[in-house]
Structure 1
Amino acid sequence: MSDLILHHYPSSPFSEKVRLIFGFKGLAWRSVHIPAIMPKPDVLALTGGYRKTPFMQIGADIYCDSALIARVLEARQPSPTLYPASAPLAVPLAQWADSALFWAAVTWTMQPAGVSHLFNNPAPEVMKAFGADRAAFTGSMRRLTLADATAQLGSYLGSLAAQLQQQGGPWLFGGTPTIADFSVAHALWFIRRGGPVAEIIGRHAGLNEWLDRVLAIGHGRSEPMSSAEAIAVAAAGAAGGHAFCEVGAGLGFEPGQAVTVAATDYGSDPVAGTLVGLSADEVVVRRTDERAGTVHVHFPRIGFQIKKEQSA
């Protein structure tokens, strides 16, 4: 049985990105379905406050953010690679897709026709609960208007279609998929789930065919797992140690400092703990939960802020 545990829910776009990467790398994994909205007590037991979806667990190590998860899976299974040397712009394109393209896609899809299709004509109380959760989740973040999203999305999709045509290959950077294909695909996958609003993709030559190719990769091999079982895995794994990490010199922090780590865009609930790992790419905090035991929670540096605290 695989030690890779993905905590996700079926309609989560960033989860679809990671599920497709599992498929691309031919990896087996265990699937824990989590709630789409708060409360999420089992999630918080593992992450300490981070509530974006998905996150990945390996024993008592918790990996937050799909960009970091992709790097961990690349280290686990280097071939086929997500980061070919022939496509140095794949990573910044993926970062753009995970932010600007994603929010334009979400705003476009969440217009009434898309919502009705996504939620199968939801009851008013369902949408009220979902809306309240997402309002708290995005906080003071400035959201696009539908008019702005429409204009931006049309421009973005046109550029992606032109990139595919110019490359002449089946993928965004030619003959092989990269991290950029998976980051772009999850945003377009969400639009396609919106039913009638998905016609915007078809306006741009080649995009539907490219999206079909990405989604045909599939999700690899998964087995269901309960959140209680995952918490027990973390508690047992803590006794066996954690993935190696250390606090690098000259980065402004010292090992053992009390810190908080929080996303800088949305879902910015801080995670408090003791600093045990820091590099140019990753920050790791140690925290203890009465059920999950002592876990190490990993975050990427891009998109997250570290702050020193008075006590852990």
Structure 2
Amino acid sequence: MQDLILHHYASSPFSEKIRLILAHKRLAWQSVVVPAVMPKPDVMALTGGYRRTPFLQVGADIYCDTTLIVDVLEARQPTPSLFPTDASGRPTEGAARLQADWADRQLFWTAIAYAFQPAGIAALFDGAPPAVVQAFTEDRGKMRSNAPRLPVAVAAAQLRSALGWLEQQLQAQDFLLGAAPTLADFSTYHPLWFVLRLKPIAGVFDDTPRVRRWLDRMAALGLDAEAPLHRSAAEAIEIAATSEPLPVQQPQVVGLRGMALGQRVTVTPTDYALDPVEGELLQADAQRFSVRRTDPRAGTVHVHFPRIGFEAKAVAA
């Protein structure tokens, strides 16, 4: 079985989500640290244009977006499961996936807008040269197509409301959906982890003690995990170049009128970082898009995306 290689950087909230899941599942993994801002030539060699962090590499297969990475890790190591079970012991995914989607989309952007107030920025970039702060700010503006961020006062009010909901949810249980952590916990944790690290503005948690204790319980899940093996980007690209992508199981096209397997398509996020990845369509089932592409350095790779949050378009002949 090929190794799991996570391409990430330390302060990335979505990377923390996956790092903590890897620790919880006791999965061995390898670490490649990527730049926080563009340009990212080594990332582009593997993904073909997808620039978000993190992404997961397994040989010559590249998995984009944590929604899909979660499914890959759950399949690799089903226990402990990321989903609660019903009375008969069968996994029930709906509630966990719904709360995770809310957290990854709504709560995340609210937390980011709250974090990027002057005191939060000063804590995040403590000791960094002004040019680094400017480069990061400009890069994130381009990722969001310069869409306006929530005003800090609005973000603060919305974050406090969300924390109040979570405080109620934790009233009679240790984790959001019961006695054990699920995908709902890991997805809700990472944007709050980002804010909690910024000490000058972390007082927003003072009125929700159950949430604060839950954050401590979540952080403790990774305390005794083995450290990952560190690899360079060049090593990861060489692994892709010397590996064969996994065959696509039961290839099909669902819900893409006028498109067929083998056609040239682009796959693009629908919310931010709207950078298309072009390749040959291998799969478009209800859960994922998969394309084949070839890079001079990485060779032939299969790049995979979740169906939710991405769209495929045919490339004009």
Please report the TM-score for the alignment, with normalisation by the length of structure 1. Answer: 0.95
Partner of 1:233: 239
Q: 1:187 aligns with which of 169, 184, 191?
A: 191
Partner of 1:308: 314
Q: 1:284 aligns with which of 266, 284, 290?
A: 290
Partner of 1:158: 164
Q: Is 1:298 matched up with 2:298?
A: no
SS where residue 274 of structure 1 aligns? strand
Partner of 1:33: 33
Between the two proteins, what is the percent identity of the paired residues?
A: 52
Q: Which runs of 4+ in 1 moved over 4 A?
A: none
Q: Cα–Cα, structure 1 residues 54 and 249, in superposed 2: closer, same or farther, change >3 Å?
A: closer
Partner of 1:73: 73
- Provide the rounded CA distance (Å) in 2 between the counterparts of 1:108 and 1:117: 13
Partner of 2:53: 53
SS where residue 154 of structure 1 aligns? helix
- Provide the rounded CA distance (Å) in 1 between the counterparts of 2:81 and 2:206: 29
SS where residue 206 of structure 1 aligns? helix
Amino acid at match of 2:312: I
- Provide the rounded CA distance (Å) in 2 between the counterparts of 1:202 and 1:183: 21
Aligned residues: 307
SS where residue 275 of structure 1 aligns? strand
Say if 1:2 and 1:30, in contact at 8 Å, map to a contact too: no
How far the C-alpha of 1:268 sits from its partner, in A, is 1.1
Unaligned runs of 5+ in 2: 87-91
SS where residue 170 of structure 2 aligns? helix
Amino acid at match of 1:155: S
Unaligned runs of 5+ in 1: none
Amino acid at match of 2:30: R
- Provide the rounded CA distance (Å) in 2 between the counterparts of 1:230 and 1:189: 28
217-226 or 275-284, larger mean C-alpha shift? 217-226
- Provide the rounded CA distance (Å) in 2 between the counterparts of 1:142 and 1:47: 28
Say if 2:49 and 2:276, in contact at 8 Å, map to a contact too: yes
Deviations 1:77-107 (A, max 9, x none): 0011002234531111000000110011011
12-21 or 196-205, larger mean C-alpha shift? 196-205
Q: Is 1:110 matched up with 2:116?
A: yes
- Provide the rounded CA distance (Å) in 1 between the counterparts of 2:302 and 2:58: 10
- Provide the rounded CA distance (Å) in 2 between the counterparts of 1:137 and 1:162: 34
How far the C-alpha of 1:193 sits from its partner, in A, is 1.4
- Provide the rounded CA distance (Å) in 1 between the counterparts of 2:154 and 2:279: 39
Q: Cα–Cα, structure 1 residues 148 and 9, in superposed 2: closer, same or farther, change >3 Å?
A: same
Amino acid at match of 1:64: C
How far the C-alpha of 1:303 sits from its partner, in A, is 0.6
The CA RMSD measured in Å over matched residues stands at: 1.5
Amino acid at match of 1:213: R
Q: Is 1:215 matched up with 2:219?
A: yes
Amino acid at match of 1:207: V
Please report the TM-score for the alignment, with normalisation by the length of structure 2. Answer: 0.93
293-302 or 211-220, larger mean C-alpha shift? 211-220
Q: Is 1:125 matched up with 2:125?
A: no
Amino acid at match of 1:43: V
Q: Is 1:268 matched up with 2:274?
A: yes
